[in-house]
Structure 1
Amino acid sequence: MNNLRKGFPVLKRYTYLNTAASGFLPEKVFEFRQDHDLDFLISASILKEWQGELLTEVRETVGRFFNCAAHRVALVPNFSYGFNTLLEGFEKPKKALLLKGDYPSINWPVKSRNFDISYAAIDEHLEDNIRQALTENRPDFFAFSIVQYINGVKLSIDFLKELKKEFPDILFVADGTQYLGTEVFDFDSSGIDVVISSTYKWLNAGYGNGFILFNENVEGKIEPKHLGFGSLQGKYKAHEGNFLGKFEPGHQDTLNYGSLAVALKLLDKTGMDKIETQIHKLKEYARQKFAEMDLLEKYVLDRKEHSSIFNLKGEEELFHYLRSRDIITSQRGEGIRVSFHYFNTIEEINELTEAIKHKI
């Protein structure tokens, strides 16, 4: 277990249970960033002559990691930029399905445009709610988080595969920011048409980089409007009007996208199967402990599958008490959100629960 914690200096300072708010910078990524900017300092444009090769490597690394062909991987600075670009590509008006209370960066951009919107409630009947809403409203697209940011409620990939078979003509657009990096994910077999993700959380790649994974059937259904000189630059963007190029109209930041490639290689070296196993062990142990202490909503306990994000009953006073003990969490919704990544431990969960018992 100690081997999984190597290369993360922040773990020596804090009991860090806050990856759902922000991951941190691994030493390997930090070293890449230092070397990159030193090269830029002393060579300027000469470094940038290699940006095409570097960005191609990043795109192909993302594609291999999530099983998506490189020509269907767009590099974008964050989820919100990618999602808004995607939405501008829809011929409006269109019918959309959202989850009520989903992440604002999903729901707000859809609401700000001329879409006919329906909602499915996030409760103990979430999957049934979604299926019923799709049946009754027949939206053109369904935009959703795979994992909910407030309380960690998770839609299983198996459920999404089944749903896509039932509704093959509806475009499924998923935010993977709170999901990717927590378990093995095979995009091409997932049934999802588009996955967009920032990478500063569970992928520990820092800020300013993200990506979009596209299914083959998306091109032709969406017509993005962004264009620039960057739309033609690179191995997979050979001509004006290229679908991929419309998501990358400007100069791309080799520092930030290079950081993404290093972070993914680190996860690959650690082993996503090992990471998935460790996270599963932690979340099941934590859920049992939290249930014993009556810290969770009942419907969260009743769900068959859940992520490693939990929203615990607790007031602001408890949040500040935990911070005073160097236990890092977030205030979200009406409670205190904790989240466990592969470098966390059973001992840290026990430390958290003991601190809560002491305060309440």
Structure 2
Amino acid sequence: MKNFRKQFPVLNQYTYLNTAASGLLPEAVMEWRQDHDLDLLISGSILKEKQGEVLTGVREAVGRFFNCAPNRVALTPNFSYGFNTLMEGVEKGKKVMLLKNDYPSVNWAVESRDFETCYAEIDENLEQNILEVAERVQPDIFAFSLVQWINGIKIDLDFLKELKQNFPDLLLFGDGTQYCGTENFDFEDSALDVLGASTYKWMNAGYGNAFFLFKQHMEDKISPRSLGFNSLQGKYKAHEGSLIGKFEPGHQDTLNFGSLKVAIELIEKTGIENIEKQVNFLASEAKKAFEKKGLLEPSVVKRDLHSSIFNIRGDEAVFRKLRSNNILCSQRGEGIRVSFHYFNSEDDLEKLLKALK
């Protein structure tokens, strides 16, 4: 992974353990963005004439990377915009299961609408909690984050397949913002009916771009009301009533979505298998070290499956000390959140542990 650290100049100044808050912008994406705006500067509307071609390429790249047909890939400016559009298209009165204290952009979008809501607890028994609520309430939809934003607890994807087998009519809506880009993921083979994600974190694509993936049957399950001229424009949404068109009513930003395509190409060049291996290695080493020092909450310690996001014990003074040592992280919940991506190393973990002494 060291060969790719040069893509991220921030690493020359800081020990960057803050991807869970904001992913780093790679030089390859920055260079593409500069070329794009230079083209806009000198060619004006000629660049706009290529808009369809650019967005088609982005859609195909996302579909290739996650194994989803391009005509079921919607491009949105962020997860919250797309998820609100999704929930606006769900029939009122449906029973929706959420995770208690999940990311606000998931829960608020549901709670602010006319749905019956129920909650499963996020702890060491996450999957069992979900199953018990599903059996008791029989919800129509389960909306959740694949990885929890505060403490990094990661849901078992194999459990979701079992859940789907037991409740075949239960629709699964996943937020992959804290997950996508950390390991290989096959959407078509997954239990999810919808996956949405902002890509400025673990996919290192910069701000202003996100995607939503849909299984084929979702065409008949939701009816978003959004519509605009751009809803009918493009290779994969040329017919009236196109599902992805309803998520893309206005002009799309070729600068930001083009950045996503370049970011995906960088991931493919690095190798998602290599990224997954490094992320899992750092997550394992960090968890062992944090557990040994008593820095983790019991619900994280008791789970075998975990992401590379950790909330460690520490107050404002500890946070300031880390920042004074050029270690970038975030205060979240009752502690300090640190997160490790593929460009991180064992040295970064050691610097953190040394500073915590």
TM band (smaller chain): over 0.9
Q: Does 1:12 align with 2:2?
A: no
Secondary structure in structure 1 of the residue aligned to 2:206: coil
Report 1:182-201 matches (<5 A): 182-201=182-201
Cα distance in structure 2, aligned partners of 1:65 and 1:289 = 33
1:157 corresponding residue in structure 2: 157
- Aligned runs of 1:1-360 on 2, under 5 Å? 1-357=1-357
Q: What secondary structure, in the 3-state scheme, does the structure 2 residue paired with 1:296 have?
A: coil
Measure how far apart 1:225 and its partner are: 0.4
Distance 2:243 2:285 in 1: 45
CA contact (8 A) 2:180 2:202 kept: yes
Residue pair 1:4, 1:342 contacting (<8 A) in 2 also: no
Distance 1:19 1:124 in 2: 24
Q: In the aligned structure 2, how far is the partner of 1:158 from the partner of 1:15? A: 34
For residues 48-76 of structure 1, the C-alpha deviation after alignment (integer angstroms, 9 at most, x for no partner) is 10010110000000000000010110000
Alignment length (residue pairs): 357
Are the counterparts in 1 of residues 127 and 156 from structure 2 also a CA contact under 8 Å?
A: no
- d(CA) in 2 for partners of 1:299, 1:88: 34
TM-aligned CA deviation for residue 240 of structure 1: 2.0
Secondary structure of the equivalent of 2:216? Answer: coil
CA distance in 1, matches of 2:91, 2:166: 24
Q: Distance in 2 between matches of 1:19 and 1:56?
A: 28
Q: Which runs of 4+ in 1 moved over 4 A?
A: none
CA RMSD of aligned residues (A): 0.7
Q: CA deviation at 1:238?
A: 1.2
Question: Aligned letter for 2:324?
Answer: S
Helix, strand or coil: the match of 1:20? coil
Structure 1 CA distance for aligned equivalents of residues 44 and 161 of structure 2: 47
Matched position secondary structure for 1:142: strand
**Mapped partners of 1:62, 1:291: distance in 2:** 37
SS of the equivalent of 2:7 reads coil
Verify the 8 A CA contact 1:23 1:202 in the aligned structure 2.
yes
Q: Report the residue type matching 1:213 in the other structure.
A: L
Alpha-carbon distance in structure 2 between the residues aligned to 1:243 and 1:4: 38
Q: Which amino acid is 2:22 matched to? A: S
Residues in 2 aligned to 1:243 and 1:127: alpha-carbon distance in whole angstroms: 31
Q: CA deviation at 1:162?
A: 1.5
Unaligned residue ranges in structure 2 (runs of 5+)? none
Distance 2:5 2:34 in 1: 22
2-structure distance, mates of 1:153, 1:41: 45
Counterpart amino acid of residue 269 in structure 2: K
Task: Compute the TM-score of the two structures, normalised by the length of structure 1.
Answer: 0.98
SS of corresponding position for 1:178: coil
Q: Which amino acid aligns with 1:216?
A: Q
Amino acid at match of 1:87: M
